[in-house]
Amino acid sequence: MADVMDLELQKLPLDGWHRARGGRMVPFAGYEMPVQYEGILAEHLWTRESAGLFDVSHMGQLMISGPQADAALETLLPGELKLLGDGKLRYSLLLNEAGGIIDDLMATRRGEQFYVVVNGATKHGDIEQLERRLPQGTVVDHMKEQALLALQGPRAVEVLEALAPGVSELTFMTGGAFRIGDVPAWISRSGYTGEDGFEISVGAGAAEQVADALMESSLVKPIGLGARDSLRLEAGLPLYGHDLDEQTTPVMADLTFAIQKRRRAEGGFAGADRILAELEQGPVQKRVGFTVEGRQPVREGARIMDGEGNEVGRVTSGGFSPSLQRPIGMGYVATALSAPATRLTLEQRGKLFPAEVVPMPFVPHRYHRKKG
Amino acid sequence: MSLYFTKEHEWIRVEGDTATVGISQHAQHALGDIVFAEAPDVGKTLDKGQEAAVVESVKAASDVYSPVSGEVTEANPAIADDPSIINSDPEGEGWFFKLRLADPAELDGLMDEASYRDWSSKL
Protein backbone atom coordinates (compact mmCIF):
# COMPACT_ATOMS: atom_id res chain seq x y z
CA MET A 1 0.00 0.00 0.00
CA ALA A 2 1.30 3.46 -0.85
CA ASP A 3 2.12 5.76 2.00
CA VAL A 4 -0.30 8.67 2.25
CA MET A 5 2.63 11.09 2.33
CA ASP A 6 3.88 9.86 -1.05
CA LEU A 7 0.64 10.70 -2.78
CA GLU A 8 -0.21 14.07 -4.17
CA LEU A 9 -2.26 16.16 -1.77
CA GLN A 10 -5.96 15.56 -2.18
CA LYS A 11 -8.58 18.27 -2.31
CA LEU A 12 -11.59 18.41 -0.01
CA PRO A 13 -15.05 18.57 -1.58
CA LEU A 14 -15.23 22.12 -0.19
CA ASP A 15 -11.77 23.17 -1.43
CA GLY A 16 -12.98 26.11 -3.54
CA TRP A 17 -15.47 27.10 -0.84
CA HIS A 18 -12.65 27.42 1.73
CA ARG A 19 -10.46 29.45 -0.61
CA ALA A 20 -13.33 31.80 -1.47
CA ARG A 21 -13.73 32.52 2.25
CA GLY A 22 -10.06 33.33 2.77
CA GLY A 23 -9.05 29.95 4.15
CA ARG A 24 -5.27 29.59 4.39
CA MET A 25 -4.65 26.10 3.03
CA VAL A 26 -1.95 23.81 4.46
CA PRO A 27 -1.11 20.13 3.99
CA PHE A 28 -2.70 17.92 6.64
CA ALA A 29 -3.41 14.19 6.63
CA GLY A 30 -2.77 14.04 2.90
CA TYR A 31 -5.21 16.86 2.10
CA GLU A 32 -5.02 20.57 1.53
CA MET A 33 -6.98 21.92 4.48
CA PRO A 34 -7.83 25.36 5.88
CA VAL A 35 -5.71 26.12 8.97
CA GLN A 36 -7.46 29.46 9.54
CA TYR A 37 -9.68 32.11 7.98
CA GLU A 38 -9.76 35.35 10.00
CA GLY A 39 -7.39 34.08 12.70
CA ILE A 40 -7.09 31.22 15.16
CA LEU A 41 -7.86 33.21 18.33
CA ALA A 42 -10.99 34.81 16.91
CA GLU A 43 -12.22 31.51 15.47
CA HIS A 44 -11.57 29.70 18.73
CA LEU A 45 -13.49 32.23 20.81
CA TRP A 46 -16.32 32.39 18.25
CA THR A 47 -16.81 28.63 18.57
CA ARG A 48 -16.94 28.89 22.38
CA GLU A 49 -19.61 31.60 22.28
CA SER A 50 -21.59 31.05 19.06
CA ALA A 51 -21.27 28.36 16.37
CA GLY A 52 -18.28 27.28 14.27
CA LEU A 53 -18.43 25.29 11.04
CA PHE A 54 -15.59 22.79 10.51
CA ASP A 55 -14.90 20.75 7.39
CA VAL A 56 -13.57 17.40 8.58
CA SER A 57 -14.11 15.54 5.32
CA HIS A 58 -10.53 14.25 5.54
CA MET A 59 -11.67 11.85 8.25
CA GLY A 60 -12.44 8.28 7.29
CA GLN A 61 -16.11 7.29 7.31
CA LEU A 62 -16.54 3.53 7.34
CA MET A 63 -19.55 1.23 7.42
CA ILE A 64 -18.85 -2.13 9.02
CA SER A 65 -21.34 -4.88 8.28
CA GLY A 66 -21.68 -8.63 8.36
CA PRO A 67 -23.13 -11.20 10.72
CA GLN A 68 -22.61 -9.95 14.29
CA ALA A 69 -20.63 -6.87 13.35
CA ASP A 70 -20.71 -5.88 17.04
CA ALA A 71 -18.98 -9.06 18.18
CA ALA A 72 -16.53 -8.77 15.30
CA LEU A 73 -15.51 -5.23 16.24
CA GLU A 74 -15.24 -6.20 19.90
CA THR A 75 -12.26 -8.41 19.01
CA LEU A 76 -10.22 -5.27 18.18
CA LEU A 77 -11.96 -2.54 20.23
CA PRO A 78 -12.25 -2.58 24.05
CA GLY A 79 -15.66 -0.86 24.08
CA GLU A 80 -19.08 -2.35 24.83
CA LEU A 81 -20.69 -2.59 21.40
CA LYS A 82 -23.06 -5.55 21.80
CA LEU A 83 -25.25 -3.60 24.21
CA LEU A 84 -24.86 -0.27 22.42
CA GLY A 85 -28.33 0.98 21.49
CA ASP A 86 -29.40 1.85 17.96
CA GLY A 87 -28.25 5.35 16.99
CA LYS A 88 -25.87 5.58 19.95
CA LEU A 89 -22.22 6.59 19.60
CA ARG A 90 -19.29 5.19 21.50
CA TYR A 91 -15.75 6.56 21.65
CA SER A 92 -13.37 3.65 21.18
CA LEU A 93 -9.87 2.59 20.23
CA LEU A 94 -8.48 0.32 17.53
CA LEU A 95 -5.82 -1.74 19.30
CA ASN A 96 -2.84 -3.78 18.21
CA GLU A 97 -2.18 -7.19 19.75
CA ALA A 98 0.04 -5.59 22.42
CA GLY A 99 -2.75 -3.23 23.48
CA GLY A 100 -1.20 -0.21 21.76
CA ILE A 101 -3.51 2.31 20.12
CA ILE A 102 -3.62 2.18 16.31
CA ASP A 103 -6.30 4.89 16.20
CA ASP A 104 -9.09 6.44 18.22
CA LEU A 105 -12.54 6.53 16.69
CA MET A 106 -16.29 6.96 17.08
CA ALA A 107 -18.50 3.93 16.47
CA THR A 108 -22.27 4.31 16.01
CA ARG A 109 -24.72 1.44 15.86
CA ARG A 110 -26.95 1.83 12.81
CA GLY A 111 -29.18 -1.24 13.00
CA GLU A 112 -26.96 -4.27 12.55
CA GLN A 113 -24.18 -2.16 11.03
CA PHE A 114 -21.62 0.10 12.63
CA TYR A 115 -20.77 3.53 11.25
CA VAL A 116 -17.19 4.25 12.28
CA VAL A 117 -15.39 7.59 11.93
CA VAL A 118 -11.58 7.40 12.11
CA ASN A 119 -8.76 9.93 11.82
CA GLY A 120 -7.81 11.19 8.38
CA ALA A 121 -4.06 10.58 8.68
CA THR A 122 -4.58 6.98 9.77
CA LYS A 123 -7.64 5.92 7.77
CA HIS A 124 -5.89 3.86 5.10
CA GLY A 125 -3.89 1.94 7.71
CA ASP A 126 -7.04 1.43 9.78
CA ILE A 127 -8.95 -0.03 6.84
CA GLU A 128 -6.07 -2.38 6.10
CA GLN A 129 -6.00 -3.48 9.77
CA LEU A 130 -9.76 -3.97 9.94
CA GLU A 131 -9.91 -5.97 6.72
CA ARG A 132 -7.02 -8.18 7.79
CA ARG A 133 -7.92 -8.72 11.44
CA LEU A 134 -11.73 -8.70 11.64
CA PRO A 135 -13.38 -12.13 11.49
CA GLN A 136 -14.23 -13.47 8.04
CA GLY A 137 -17.51 -12.25 6.66
CA THR A 138 -17.16 -8.75 8.13
CA VAL A 139 -17.20 -6.13 5.40
CA VAL A 140 -15.54 -2.70 5.64
CA ASP A 141 -17.00 -0.10 3.28
CA HIS A 142 -15.00 3.13 2.99
CA MET A 143 -17.68 5.76 2.32
CA LYS A 144 -15.44 7.93 0.16
CA GLU A 145 -18.40 9.74 -1.36
CA GLN A 146 -19.38 11.25 2.01
CA ALA A 147 -18.28 14.65 3.29
CA LEU A 148 -18.24 15.38 7.03
CA LEU A 149 -19.01 18.77 8.55
CA ALA A 150 -19.08 19.71 12.23
CA LEU A 151 -21.14 22.54 13.68
CA GLN A 152 -19.89 23.26 17.19
CA GLY A 153 -20.74 25.76 19.89
CA PRO A 154 -23.58 26.82 22.20
CA ARG A 155 -25.64 28.28 19.33
CA ALA A 156 -25.18 25.26 17.03
CA VAL A 157 -28.45 23.67 18.08
CA GLU A 158 -30.67 26.60 17.14
CA VAL A 159 -28.95 27.00 13.77
CA LEU A 160 -29.22 23.34 12.84
CA GLU A 161 -32.74 22.83 14.22
CA ALA A 162 -34.00 25.48 11.78
CA LEU A 163 -32.58 23.48 8.86
CA ALA A 164 -33.04 19.93 10.13
CA PRO A 165 -36.09 19.88 12.40
CA GLY A 166 -35.76 17.34 15.20
CA VAL A 167 -32.01 17.49 15.76
CA SER A 168 -32.53 19.42 19.00
CA GLU A 169 -34.03 16.25 20.47
CA LEU A 170 -30.78 14.35 20.03
CA THR A 171 -28.70 14.10 23.20
CA PHE A 172 -24.91 13.92 23.43
CA MET A 173 -23.52 10.81 21.70
CA THR A 174 -26.69 9.95 19.80
CA GLY A 175 -27.41 10.29 16.09
CA GLY A 176 -30.00 9.74 13.42
CA ALA A 177 -31.07 10.23 9.80
CA PHE A 178 -32.36 13.73 8.95
CA ARG A 179 -32.83 15.95 5.92
CA ILE A 180 -31.29 19.37 5.41
CA GLY A 181 -33.64 20.73 2.74
CA ASP A 182 -33.65 17.92 0.18
CA VAL A 183 -30.26 16.55 1.26
CA PRO A 184 -30.22 13.33 3.28
CA ALA A 185 -27.84 13.65 6.23
CA TRP A 186 -26.65 11.46 9.09
CA ILE A 187 -26.38 13.79 12.07
CA SER A 188 -24.98 13.04 15.51
CA ARG A 189 -24.69 15.22 18.59
CA SER A 190 -20.95 14.95 19.09
CA GLY A 191 -17.71 16.72 18.32
CA TYR A 192 -14.13 17.53 19.22
CA THR A 193 -14.36 20.93 20.91
CA GLY A 194 -15.92 20.23 24.33
CA GLU A 195 -18.96 22.26 23.25
CA ASP A 196 -22.45 21.15 22.39
CA GLY A 197 -22.65 20.53 18.66
CA PHE A 198 -23.21 18.21 15.77
CA GLU A 199 -21.37 16.21 13.17
CA ILE A 200 -23.09 16.04 9.80
CA SER A 201 -22.36 13.41 7.16
CA VAL A 202 -23.66 14.29 3.69
CA GLY A 203 -22.84 13.27 0.13
CA ALA A 204 -19.78 15.15 -1.14
CA GLY A 205 -21.83 16.64 -3.97
CA ALA A 206 -24.20 18.30 -1.47
CA ALA A 207 -21.52 19.54 0.94
CA GLU A 208 -21.39 23.03 -0.52
CA GLN A 209 -25.16 23.42 -0.45
CA VAL A 210 -25.25 22.37 3.21
CA ALA A 211 -22.29 24.58 4.17
CA ASP A 212 -23.91 27.57 2.47
CA ALA A 213 -27.22 26.90 4.22
CA LEU A 214 -25.47 26.83 7.62
CA MET A 215 -23.50 29.98 6.82
CA GLU A 216 -26.70 31.90 6.08
CA SER A 217 -27.03 32.29 9.83
CA SER A 218 -25.01 35.19 11.21
CA LEU A 219 -24.27 32.94 14.19
CA VAL A 220 -22.00 30.71 12.07
CA LYS A 221 -18.42 31.30 10.92
CA PRO A 222 -16.02 28.85 9.25
CA ILE A 223 -13.31 27.54 11.58
CA GLY A 224 -9.93 26.12 10.56
CA LEU A 225 -7.67 23.37 11.85
CA GLY A 226 -5.73 25.77 14.09
CA ALA A 227 -8.71 26.51 16.30
CA ARG A 228 -9.84 22.89 16.09
CA ASP A 229 -6.54 21.98 17.75
CA SER A 230 -6.67 24.65 20.48
CA LEU A 231 -10.34 23.84 21.22
CA ARG A 232 -9.71 20.12 21.62
CA LEU A 233 -6.65 20.80 23.78
CA GLU A 234 -8.70 22.96 26.16
CA ALA A 235 -11.29 20.16 26.22
CA GLY A 236 -8.56 17.69 27.25
CA LEU A 237 -9.18 15.52 24.19
CA PRO A 238 -6.17 13.61 22.83
CA LEU A 239 -5.00 13.95 19.22
CA TYR A 240 -3.87 10.76 17.54
CA GLY A 241 -0.24 10.77 16.39
CA HIS A 242 0.60 13.26 19.13
CA ASP A 243 -1.01 12.24 22.43
CA LEU A 244 -1.75 8.68 21.34
CA ASP A 245 0.28 6.18 19.33
CA GLU A 246 0.98 2.47 19.07
CA GLN A 247 3.25 2.64 22.12
CA THR A 248 0.46 3.96 24.35
CA THR A 249 -2.34 1.87 25.80
CA PRO A 250 -5.83 3.11 26.77
CA VAL A 251 -4.80 2.94 30.44
CA MET A 252 -1.62 4.98 29.90
CA ALA A 253 -3.67 7.48 27.90
CA ASP A 254 -6.17 7.83 30.77
CA LEU A 255 -8.98 6.62 28.52
CA THR A 256 -10.20 3.83 30.78
CA PHE A 257 -13.76 5.21 30.52
CA ALA A 258 -13.73 3.66 27.04
CA ILE A 259 -13.42 0.13 28.49
CA GLN A 260 -16.85 -0.79 29.83
CA LYS A 261 -17.58 -3.15 32.71
CA ARG A 262 -18.35 -6.32 30.75
CA ARG A 263 -15.23 -5.92 28.65
CA ARG A 264 -13.10 -5.57 31.80
CA ALA A 265 -14.64 -8.74 33.20
CA GLU A 266 -14.49 -10.79 30.00
CA GLY A 267 -11.51 -9.39 28.08
CA GLY A 268 -11.48 -10.85 24.59
CA PHE A 269 -10.06 -7.81 22.77
CA ALA A 270 -6.62 -7.21 21.26
CA GLY A 271 -4.03 -6.65 23.98
CA ALA A 272 -6.54 -7.49 26.74
CA ASP A 273 -3.97 -9.31 28.91
CA ARG A 274 -1.76 -6.25 29.17
CA ILE A 275 -4.58 -3.74 29.42
CA LEU A 276 -6.45 -5.64 32.15
CA ALA A 277 -3.18 -5.99 34.09
CA GLU A 278 -2.57 -2.25 33.76
CA LEU A 279 -6.09 -1.54 34.94
CA GLU A 280 -5.38 -3.56 38.07
CA GLN A 281 -1.81 -2.49 38.79
CA GLY A 282 -1.72 0.95 37.23
CA PRO A 283 0.34 1.93 34.18
CA VAL A 284 4.01 2.93 34.31
CA GLN A 285 3.25 6.28 32.67
CA LYS A 286 0.08 8.27 32.40
CA ARG A 287 -1.27 11.11 30.26
CA VAL A 288 -1.86 14.27 32.29
CA GLY A 289 -2.78 17.88 31.69
CA PHE A 290 -0.71 20.76 33.03
CA THR A 291 -0.69 24.53 33.19
CA VAL A 292 2.56 26.43 32.59
CA GLU A 293 3.68 29.51 34.52
CA GLY A 294 4.10 32.69 32.52
CA ARG A 295 2.86 33.34 28.99
CA GLN A 296 5.20 31.38 26.73
CA PRO A 297 3.71 28.26 25.14
CA VAL A 298 5.55 24.98 25.71
CA ARG A 299 5.00 22.68 22.78
CA GLU A 300 5.11 19.05 21.73
CA GLY A 301 8.49 17.42 22.33
CA ALA A 302 9.53 19.46 25.36
CA ARG A 303 11.03 17.39 28.17
CA ILE A 304 9.13 16.94 31.44
CA MET A 305 11.26 16.68 34.59
CA ASP A 306 10.61 15.98 38.26
CA GLY A 307 11.87 18.18 41.11
CA GLU A 308 15.35 16.68 40.87
CA GLY A 309 15.77 17.28 37.15
CA ASN A 310 15.19 13.67 36.07
CA GLU A 311 13.32 13.30 32.80
CA VAL A 312 9.94 11.69 33.54
CA GLY A 313 8.21 12.17 30.20
CA ARG A 314 7.52 14.40 27.22
CA VAL A 315 4.99 17.02 26.25
CA THR A 316 2.69 15.60 23.55
CA SER A 317 0.49 18.67 22.95
CA GLY A 318 1.04 22.20 24.13
CA GLY A 319 -0.06 25.66 23.27
CA PHE A 320 -1.63 28.89 24.34
CA SER A 321 -5.19 28.55 25.61
CA PRO A 322 -7.28 31.35 24.07
CA SER A 323 -10.07 30.87 26.62
CA LEU A 324 -7.80 30.83 29.69
CA GLN A 325 -5.20 33.25 28.22
CA ARG A 326 -2.34 31.10 29.44
CA PRO A 327 -0.21 28.20 28.19
CA ILE A 328 -1.52 24.67 28.76
CA GLY A 329 -0.48 21.25 27.60
CA MET A 330 -0.65 17.51 27.99
CA GLY A 331 1.99 14.87 28.14
CA TYR A 332 3.06 11.62 29.73
CA VAL A 333 4.66 11.39 33.16
CA ALA A 334 5.63 8.59 35.53
CA THR A 335 2.39 7.59 37.27
CA ALA A 336 3.77 8.66 40.66
CA LEU A 337 3.81 12.25 39.33
CA SER A 338 0.35 12.21 37.74
CA ALA A 339 -1.74 13.50 40.66
CA PRO A 340 -3.24 16.98 40.36
CA ALA A 341 -1.14 19.75 42.00
CA THR A 342 2.12 17.86 41.33
CA ARG A 343 4.87 20.33 40.40
CA LEU A 344 6.79 19.62 37.20
CA THR A 345 9.55 21.38 35.30
CA LEU A 346 9.43 21.56 31.51
CA GLU A 347 12.45 22.16 29.31
CA GLN A 348 12.21 23.70 25.86
CA ARG A 349 15.19 24.99 23.84
CA GLY A 350 17.32 25.11 26.98
CA LYS A 351 14.82 27.15 28.97
CA LEU A 352 13.02 25.83 32.08
CA PHE A 353 9.32 26.37 32.78
CA PRO A 354 7.54 25.57 36.07
CA ALA A 355 4.30 23.67 35.49
CA GLU A 356 1.60 22.03 37.57
CA VAL A 357 -0.54 18.95 36.90
CA VAL A 358 -4.22 19.90 36.70
CA PRO A 359 -7.38 17.87 36.06
CA MET A 360 -8.71 17.89 32.51
CA PRO A 361 -10.69 19.29 30.80
CA PHE A 362 -9.05 22.70 31.16
CA VAL A 363 -12.30 24.33 30.03
CA PRO A 364 -15.47 22.56 31.23
CA HIS A 365 -17.36 20.45 28.68
CA ARG A 366 -20.80 21.76 27.81
CA TYR A 367 -22.30 18.69 26.19
CA HIS A 368 -26.08 18.30 25.93
CA ARG A 369 -26.40 15.17 28.03
CA LYS A 370 -29.53 13.14 28.58
CA LYS A 371 -31.27 14.22 31.77
CA GLY A 372 -31.69 11.80 34.66
CA MET B 1 16.51 58.03 8.86
CA SER B 2 16.62 54.90 6.73
CA LEU B 3 14.67 51.68 6.76
CA TYR B 4 16.10 48.31 5.81
CA PHE B 5 14.82 44.73 5.78
CA THR B 6 16.34 41.24 6.02
CA LYS B 7 15.42 38.05 4.21
CA GLU B 8 14.34 36.72 7.63
CA HIS B 9 11.67 39.46 7.68
CA GLU B 10 13.14 41.77 10.30
CA TRP B 11 13.10 45.52 9.71
CA ILE B 12 15.68 47.96 11.06
CA ARG B 13 15.17 51.72 11.21
CA VAL B 14 18.43 53.64 11.59
CA GLU B 15 18.77 57.09 13.15
CA GLY B 16 22.38 58.18 13.57
CA ASP B 17 24.26 55.40 15.34
CA THR B 18 21.19 53.75 16.89
CA ALA B 19 18.57 51.55 15.25
CA THR B 20 15.16 50.06 16.08
CA VAL B 21 14.38 46.45 15.15
CA GLY B 22 11.09 44.60 14.64
CA ILE B 23 9.37 42.09 12.36
CA SER B 24 7.66 43.00 9.11
CA GLN B 25 4.00 43.17 8.19
CA HIS B 26 4.58 40.10 6.02
CA ALA B 27 6.07 38.21 8.98
CA GLN B 28 3.25 39.00 11.40
CA HIS B 29 0.69 37.94 8.81
CA ALA B 30 2.47 34.63 8.22
CA LEU B 31 2.80 33.96 11.96
CA GLY B 32 -0.83 34.69 12.78
CA ASP B 33 -2.06 35.58 16.26
CA ILE B 34 0.99 36.38 18.41
CA VAL B 35 0.65 35.32 22.05
CA PHE B 36 4.17 35.77 23.39
CA ALA B 37 7.20 37.95 22.67
CA GLU B 38 10.50 38.32 24.48
CA ALA B 39 13.01 41.07 23.71
CA PRO B 40 16.73 40.80 24.57
CA ASP B 41 18.15 42.25 27.79
CA VAL B 42 19.48 45.79 27.68
CA GLY B 43 23.28 45.75 27.52
CA LYS B 44 23.47 42.50 25.60
CA THR B 45 25.88 42.51 22.67
CA LEU B 46 24.48 40.95 19.52
CA ASP B 47 26.29 39.75 16.42
CA LYS B 48 24.75 40.22 12.99
CA GLY B 49 22.42 37.28 12.41
CA GLN B 50 22.38 36.21 16.05
CA GLU B 51 19.13 35.10 17.72
CA ALA B 52 17.99 38.22 19.52
CA ALA B 53 14.33 37.76 20.48
CA VAL B 54 11.55 35.19 20.49
CA VAL B 55 8.06 35.53 19.07
CA GLU B 56 5.36 32.89 19.39
CA SER B 57 2.03 32.70 17.66
CA VAL B 58 -0.74 30.25 18.45
CA LYS B 59 0.76 28.05 15.75
CA ALA B 60 4.53 28.24 16.17
CA ALA B 61 7.65 29.72 17.77
CA SER B 62 10.08 31.85 15.76
CA ASP B 63 13.39 33.52 16.47
CA VAL B 64 14.04 37.15 15.63
CA TYR B 65 17.60 37.67 14.41
CA SER B 66 19.60 40.83 14.82
CA PRO B 67 20.00 42.41 11.36
CA VAL B 68 23.34 43.95 12.36
CA SER B 69 25.85 43.81 15.22
CA GLY B 70 25.52 46.11 18.21
CA GLU B 71 24.64 46.59 21.85
CA VAL B 72 21.00 46.53 22.98
CA THR B 73 20.05 49.92 24.44
CA GLU B 74 16.32 49.49 24.94
CA ALA B 75 13.71 46.69 24.92
CA ASN B 76 10.04 47.39 24.20
CA PRO B 77 8.07 46.47 27.35
CA ALA B 78 4.77 46.82 25.46
CA ILE B 79 5.27 43.63 23.40
CA ALA B 80 5.60 41.53 26.56
CA ASP B 81 2.48 43.06 28.11
CA ASP B 82 0.37 42.85 24.96
CA PRO B 83 1.98 40.77 22.19
CA SER B 84 -1.01 41.41 19.91
CA ILE B 85 0.40 44.87 19.08
CA ILE B 86 2.96 43.05 16.95
CA ASN B 87 0.03 41.89 14.80
CA SER B 88 -1.75 45.23 14.75
CA ASP B 89 1.29 47.51 14.24
CA PRO B 90 4.39 45.39 13.49
CA GLU B 91 6.43 48.16 11.92
CA GLY B 92 5.47 50.80 14.52
CA GLU B 93 4.31 50.24 18.12
CA GLY B 94 5.23 46.57 17.89
CA TRP B 95 9.01 47.14 17.70
CA PHE B 96 11.22 44.72 19.68
CA PHE B 97 14.47 46.44 20.67
CA LYS B 98 16.92 49.25 19.92
CA LEU B 99 20.65 48.85 19.51
CA ARG B 100 23.77 50.92 19.05
CA LEU B 101 25.38 50.01 15.73
CA ALA B 102 28.82 48.41 15.96
CA ASP B 103 29.53 48.66 12.23
CA PRO B 104 27.26 50.81 10.02
CA ALA B 105 28.81 49.18 6.95
CA GLU B 106 26.79 46.04 7.76
CA LEU B 107 23.67 47.90 6.61
CA ASP B 108 24.92 47.76 3.03
CA GLY B 109 23.99 44.10 2.69
CA LEU B 110 20.33 44.64 3.64
CA MET B 111 17.32 45.27 1.40
CA ASP B 112 15.71 48.66 1.04
CA GLU B 113 11.97 48.92 1.57
CA ALA B 114 10.93 48.78 -2.10
CA SER B 115 13.08 45.71 -2.77
CA TYR B 116 11.77 43.95 0.32
CA ARG B 117 8.08 44.64 -0.40
CA ASP B 118 8.54 43.43 -3.94
CA TRP B 119 10.46 40.31 -2.89
CA SER B 120 8.18 39.36 0.02
CA SER B 121 5.02 39.84 -2.04
CA LYS B 122 6.19 37.01 -4.30
CA LEU B 123 6.85 34.49 -1.49
Determine the Cα–Cα distance for residues A318 and A239; give it in Å rounded to an integer.
11
Reported ipTM: the value is 0.88
Contact B56 A322 (CB under 8 A): no
CB contacts of A319 in chain B (<8 Å) are 58
Contact A40 B61 (CB under 8 A): no
Residues on B contacting A at a C-beta cutoff of 8 Å: 32-33, 35-36, 38, 54, 56-59, 61, 80, 83
**Residue A35 at interface with chain B, using a CB cutoff of 8 Å:** yes
Contact A41 B54 (CB under 8 A): no
Specify the pLDDT at position A1.
Answer: 37
Q: What is the mean pLDDT of chain A?
A: 96
First to last CA, chain A: 48
| Residue pLDDT, tens place only, B48-90 | 999 999 999 998 899 999 999 999 999 999 999 999 999 999 9
Contact B35 A320 (CB under 8 A): yes
Shortest distance, CA B37 to any CA of chain A (angstroms): 8
Decide: helix, strand or coil at residue A131.
helix
Contact A295 B35 (CB under 8 A): yes
Determine the Cα–Cα distance for residues B80 and A107; give it in Å rounded to an integer.
46
* pTM to 2 decimal places: 0.95
Specify the pLDDT at position B1.
Answer: 72
Specify the pLDDT at position A372.
Answer: 57
A226: nearest CB among B54, B56, B58: B58
Contact B54 A296 (CB under 8 A): yes
| Identity of the residue numbered A181 | G
Specify the pLDDT at position A287.
Answer: 98
| Residue pLDDT, tens place only, A228-284 | 999 999 999 999 999 999 999 999 999 999 999 999 999 999 999 999 999 999 999
B54, closest residue in chain A (CA to CA): A296
A299: nearest CB among B33, B54, B61: B61
Compute φ and ψ for B71, nearest 5 degrees: -105, 135
| Residue pLDDT, tens place only, A58-104 | 999 999 999 999 999 999 999 999 999 999 999 999 999 999 999 99
Specify the pLDDT at position A48.
Answer: 98
Q: Is the pLDDT reported for residue A6 higher than 70?
A: no
Q: Which residues contact A263 (CB under 8 A, 6 or more apart)?
A: A74, A78, A79, A80, A269
Contact A226 B38 (CB under 8 A): no
